[in-house]
Structure 1
Amino acid sequence: MAPFLQELVVSPVTILVLVLSYIAYWRSKHRLLLPVDWPLVGLLPSLVANLRNLHDYVTAVLAASGQSFAANAPAATNMRLFITCDPDNVRHIFTANHENYPKGHEFAEIFDVMAGSFFTMDGEPSRRPRAEQSILGDPRVVASMVSSCHDKVRGGLVPLLASMASRRTPVEVQDLATRLMFDVTAMAVFGVDPGCLSPDMPSMRVSAGMDTIMEVGLFRHTVPACWKAMRRLKVGPERKLAAAHAVLHGFVTEMMEKAKKYRHGHGDDEAEEKRAAAAPPPSAVDILSSYINDPDYNADGHLLRTMLITYMVAGPDTVGTTLSWFFYNLAMNPHVVSAIRHELAPIASRNKAAATSTAATTNGDHHTAVMFSPEDTKPLVYLQAALFETLRLYPPGPIERKTVVADDVMPRGHEVRAGDAVLISLYAMGRMEALWGKDWREYRPERWLTVSVSGDGGGRKKQLRYVPSHKFLAFNSGPRMCHGKHIAVAQMKTVAAAVVWNFDVEVVGGQAVEPKLSCLLQMKNGLVVKVKRRAV
């Protein structure tokens, strides 16, 4: 059971929840999957009893109940829950009747550190989400973000992996991917490289703070009757969350100051100046520059910081988390590695003569890596299929929450009332046999591909199969489609191509690889691997 549950305030209601949770746990052990909708406490005991494997439990319940079920939240919340992974319901919620299903006030409260940003505001009439769309749709911003990722992979990630391979040092993939994408995102947001991927590996208190937001976010989703009281009392996970908020706001303020100083040509000290000189130059089209002249944000320093925090949470979380599961899946499926390398081979052959010489000179050794530009990786359909297959099984955001504005009827006949909370399980959607076939457990990129035959020469060409977004919700759907999708895909392909072509990755045995209890589907214990350089 999650440690934070031990910190709940003892009360008669708490005792009742614990007793019923034990009963719910016993029922799940005896394969009585459908949860009991208890008086007063609703679905809460079943969720608490299955917190350790919550996403798999919800998946099993949805599979047993026709992909949707309704239940009550604790009576104190006066709220009902509708939980689904049915694509027809998803299309209704996200597209056909999307204005009736905003994220809502409760969602904004759960993620209060980002309240007022595009992360919490969908469905509300505001020009701010349109400003975000304009920024991420600016070709200069997109090019800058993709280019900075390529530069960081070439000058930071590949040399670091080569050095660790030479020293036979185990690599913790999740931490490394988080550090990489933290630097890449900070460069895109502030135009400044914080240097978290450097060999000395500075403290990542900010990243830990982001993890806390997502972990406590799931707690707030699960126990709506308790967390607000705990916030008022400043106890349990709410106390930890308050400290995380302070760290994030402090980091954003510090980075804004550094960005301002770098733009004027000087750093804080000699070490900062050296790091700035070694890093790519500050971008003239970073996200901070795009917001700084907007009167809506400039007039309210808090709102600007909130927006910058949102970008910092969204970037490293989505891409970094997906890359961790991607390399885990590749290590478990060497035939997929071979297929990706086969697709990369013609490009690698072309690029080899002009390959970047990387600075892995440990013990007098020298390693030349073959690099792949964003333009190189853009047409690679098998690589993209492998990434999408990872997103199917391990979506970085495993749940979506919406609020019902007006009474409605779902396509399958389920009735929802105004004020109900709707939870969409992306994790379960990717694991439904009815949607993906009997082989849904298999990591099989081929399910994303189709073969077309050209009319003139009869040549056969692989291309990505169309899968509607209401069936594959990793990048959202309908009017809420993620504006940064193409940036995220380009960044993931850039990192994946460089690592897969230049290194062999082997998972160290004896590890328990399972999801963390969080709104972000990170690995609970990380992933330790051995890295070996390839002769390419």
Structure 2
Amino acid sequence: MASSLLLVLLHHSPPLELLLACCFFLFLFKYLHLKPNKSKRPTNWPIVGMFPTVLANLDNIHGYLTDLLRECGCTFYFRGPWFCGMNFLVTCDPANVIHVFNSNFANYPKGGEFSEIFDILGDGIFNADDESWRSQRRKAQILTGHSQFRSFVVTCSREKVEGGLIPLLGRLAERDAVVDLQDVFLRLTFDMTCSLVFGVDPGCLSIEFPTVPFARAMDHAMEALYVRHIVPTPCWKLMRWLNIGKEKKLAAAREVMDEFVAQSIARSRGHGGRSLLTSYVNNEEQEYDDKYIRDTTVNFMLAGRDTTGAGLAWFFWLLSKNPKAESKILEELGELLKKKEAHEQFFPVVFDTEEVAKLVYLHAALCEALRLYPPVPFEHKCPVREDVLPSGERAPPGRRIMFSTYSMGRMEGVWGEDCAEFRPERWISERGGLRHEPAYKFMSFNCGPRTCIGKDVAFSQMKAVAAAIVCNFRFEAVEGHVVKPKPSVILQMKDGWKVRIKKKNHYLQA
């Protein structure tokens, strides 16, 4: 019967319809005549390559890639649709990571393809290569490492947690309201990052949950950037030229972001302050033009806002599933709290970032959450010159190599048989101190020369937030609400995390 239908189509169909019909019958033959196969390896179809498998697993793409890489020994060659430039290596092999990101770093610049995808970042540090990158990184390290800025981080974190986050959670607890905790954390980190970068608190974290144009523009930008990763390059470029779909939203988002930055630059000229923007605008050693400052500040915003907010959401979700870990954090904070005055031991309890900086178990628990749910779930590179990876695969010039940081945290060969478990103890040495894990297996803050400059800032913010919340509140998950990763450039929860918030009258009450 199938052969008769095919003959009819061959006789009557125009060329395009005939092509579609042939693809359909190839698909039908594959699944009707071959034995069921539990392998995760995708079929390499004519014309469309392995792209149908990506579409079929898009809702769980990180989980699918993890299973695939586990089956294939940590490295797999993906073949996309013909002539679309979507062929690339996918790997989570630590040996490949250290080779590309460190040992042979000079052969793997960001390159033109990367900067074209992330064109909204302009010529900022994440897109820059060679001397431009080195110059920007030196300047950023000096500014973020300065004692004045470090003090500013402490002040901003304390003020936002004590004056914004804790009161908001308290009011939501009194209302017994259902709230998306991920949204709360993203609002918190947006305000905190805006304060550090621009010296302005946009008030995104408030009981009204207002829509802030700059924050919404960043959301639209992230969505468009993800689409650019999963569709053939000619497709999103055509959408950009036609100004439709996500590309239209991206263009509008860029206008909003550029206007906000321009207004912030104008406001900062000649005025004092400790924000990063002020440091660049009023720099006495070197004058920077507005485009340089725009690109620099937008890079800082995109790096600091979503990553920290998503990391906090996954941390508390994991903590809710592991009450023993929460109890150990409370014990550690209890020792710290003994040093405070008696009147500070009741609601609300707030800590300075300096107070919680050396807490071992809290730091270990945050690292464990970042291992399982890295805020940036994948990285990609292209070699300039012919290379051979330690895993044996050839890497000719221009070959895209995708590194799945999400999958790496779930590989038995990298983290042991208990790699899927949330176990902060793996980060603690036998002597009770923090155990160092190399960046080539723990890539949440990148690896090699491009290791994240804001790593210490991110940890200090997360610790201040985590300590205050653990002492003052507990969360009850809404029954039936499913938490799973969202396919995105930043590893967020697809539908957030819906909870009810309960106050702890005393920090020792679970």
TM-score relative to the length of structure 2: 0.89
Q: Hey, what's the Cα distance between the residues in 2 that align with 1:77 and 1:135?
A: 42
Deviation at 1:331, TM superposition (A): 1.2
CA contact (8 A) 1:192 1:258 kept: no
Say which SS state the counterpart of residue 384 (structure 1) adopts: helix
1:464 to 434, 437, 440: 434
Counterparts of 1:14 and 1:188, CA distance in 2: 56
Distance in 1, matches of 2:157 and 2:28, equals 50
Checking the alignment, whether the CA contact within 8 Å between 2:94 and 2:441 is kept in structure 1 is yes
Q: Which residue does the alignment assign to 1:280?
A: none
Aligned to 2:295: 306
User: What residue is the counterpart of 2:338 in the other structure?
Assistant: 349
Q: Deviations over 1:34-89 (max 9, x none)?
A: 12344444332322222111111111111111101123343324564111100010
Q: For residues 276-301 of structure 1, what are the alpha-carbon distances to aligned partners after superposition, in whole Å with 9 as ceiling and x for unaligned?
A: xxxxxxx7221001111459996532
CA distance in 2, matches of 1:342, 1:17: 65
Q: Does the CA-based 8 Å contact 1:348-1:372 persist in structure 2?
A: no
The equivalent residue for 2:488 is: 518
Structure showing greater Rg: 2
**Structure 2: how far apart are the matches of 1:390 and 1:28?**
40
Distance 1:375 1:191 in 2: 21
Q: Which moved more, 1:159-168 or 1:418-427?
A: 159-168
Indicate the larger mover: 111-120 or 139-148: 139-148
| 1:18–1:421 Cα change, 3 Å | farther
Deviations 1:214-252 (CA, angstroms, capped at 9, x unpaired): 222222112224111111112222122212222222332
The count of corresponding residues between Structure 1 and Structure 2 is 487
**Cα distance between partner residues in 2 of 1:480 and 1:54:** 26
Which residue of the partner structure matches residue 4 of structure 2?
Answer: none
Q: Letter of the aligned partner of 1:239 in structure 2?
A: K
What are the ranges of 5 or more consecutive residues in structure 1 without an aligned counterpart?
Answer: 1-10, 264-282, 357-366, 453-461
Q: Given the superposition, is the C-alpha separation of residues 204 and 17 from structure 1 closer, same or farther in structure 2, using an over 3 Å criterion?
A: farther
Give the direction of change, closer, same or farther, for the CA distance of 1:51–1:79 in structure 2 (3 Å limit): closer
Tell me by how many angstroms 1:369 deviates. Answer: 1.3
Q: Secondary structure at the match of 2:38?
A: coil
- Provide the residue aligned with 1:103 in structure 2: 110
Query: Does the 8 A contact of 1:186 with 1:194 survive in 2?
Result: yes
Q: What letter corresponds to residue 79 of structure 2 in structure 1? A: N
Give CA-to-partner distance per residue, 1:349-391, whole Å, 9 cap, x none: 22243639xxxxxxxxxx7312111121111111111111111
After superposition, what is the alpha-carbon deviation per residue over 1:71-118, rounded to whole angstroms, capped at 9, x for unaligned?
334332456411110001000011100111122211111111102111
What amino acid is aligned across from residue 420 of structure 1 in structure 2?
R
Flag the 1:24–1:44 CA change in 2: closer, same or farther, 3 A. farther
Counterpart contact for 1:517–1:524, Cα < 8 Å = yes
Match of 1:382 among 354, 361, 373: 361
Distance 1:98 1:20, change over 3 A: farther
Task: Find the aligned partners of 1:230 and 1:94 in 2 and give their Cα distance.
Answer: 33
Residue by residue, what CA displacement relative to the aligned partner does 1:436-487 show, whole Å, maximum 9, x if unpaired? Answer: 22222211111111121xxxxxxxxx11112111000001111111111011
CA separation of 1:163 and 1:408: change in aligned 2, threshold 3 A: same
Kindly, what percent of the aligned residue pairs are identical? 41
Q: Which residue of 2 aligns with 1:243?
A: 252
Q: Decide whether the 8 Å contact of 2:93 with 2:408 is kept in 1.
A: yes
Q: CA deviation at 1:313?
A: 1.4
| Partner Cα separation in structure 2 for residue 175 and residue 228 of structure 1 | 31
The one-letter code sitting in structure 1 at the alignment partner of 2:252 is: A
Deviation digits for residues 486-516 of structure 1 (CA, Å, limit 9, x no counterpart): 1100110000000001111221111011111
Segments of structure 2 that go 5 or more residues without pairing to the other structure are 1-15
**Which moved further from structure 2: 339-348 or 252-261?**
252-261
Q: 2:66 aligns with which of 47, 53, 59?
A: 59
TM-score by length of 1: 0.84
Do the aligned partners of 1:230 and 1:236 also contact (CA within 8 Å) in 2? Answer: yes
Change (3 A) 1:439 1:153: same
The corresponding residue for 1:76 is 83
Contact 2:47/2:81, CA 8 A, preserved across alignment: yes
CA distance in 1, matches of 2:44, 2:496: 35
